[in-house]
Chains A and B, each alone.
Chain A
């Protein structure tokens, strides 16, 4: 039973376009929501993270939007570049789970030139 559902499974976007990846969760105890970026054959790297006390967080071209009532959060990649082509994972954890993350299944993003 997957506690964090991620969509779409894959995404193709043109250079300069916007990539949007969505995640939904059920456990209302979750209070930390990171996004990770993974290139083939490499370990995931933290991209950006958010807590439920804010509805949006922006770092450069990457923005997390968070909707607590809907139990959804999303990653927006603005002005997508070929170097952004990677697999993106959302995750969620709660303070009482002591760092046990629940990961989404991942979204493979391909940015075409």
Chain B
């Protein structure tokens, strides 16, 4: 089946800890995106990548880092510098400038 997978579904982080969220797609899409979703708010763009080995900051990149070593993978690291990381994180991919397809999300909670 083609699609986007995110893991884990739930993640708990202690104060001062870095955690990495996985995003994999087998849709052969060039572009991939990371969004953060908070209750009552729309999706806010963290980072995006249009091509392998290249990525750009989105609107709320501070405290996050990414890599794009393979076309299929776009992991997101939430660093200890992110002061309020509790949120629902969504990964998306697209083949062009139009439709983005989303993964099932990872819910991150800070303990």
A interface residues (Cβ-Cβ under 8 A, vs B): 2, 4, 6, 9, 32, 34, 36, 41-46, 49, 89, 93, 95, 97-101, 103-106
Contact = CB atoms under 8 A, between A and B. Distances in A.
Given A43-B104, A44-B102, A89 B43 contact: yes
Contacts of A2: 42
A21 to B, nearest CB: 13
Contacts of B50: 98-99
Given A42-B104, A43-B102, A43-B105, A95 B40 contact: no
Nearest to A31: B97
A35 to B, nearest CB: 11
17 contacts: A2-B42, A9-B40, A32-B97, A34-B98, A34-B100, A36-B102, A42-B105, A43-B105, A44-B43, A49-B99, A89-B42, A98-B50, A99-B48, A99-B98, A99-B100, A106-B40, A106-B42
Interface residues of B, number: 27
Contact of A100 (B4, B48, B90): B48
Contacts of A32: 97-98
A98 B97 contact: yes
A6 B42 CA distance: 10
Interface of B: 4, 6, 31, 33, 40-45, 48, 50, 58, 90, 92, 94, 96-105, 107
Contact of A101 (B4, B6, B100, B104): B100
A42 B104 CA distance: 5
B70 to A, nearest CB: 19
Given A98-B31, A99-B33, A46 B101 contact: yes
Contacts of B31: 98-99
A100 B58 contact: yes
Contacts of A46: 99-101
A41 B90 CA distance: 11
Nearest to B33: A99
Given A43-B104, A49-B99, 10 more contacts: A4-B42, A42-B104, A43-B6, A44-B43, A44-B102, A93-B98, A99-B31, A99-B94, A99-B98, A101-B45
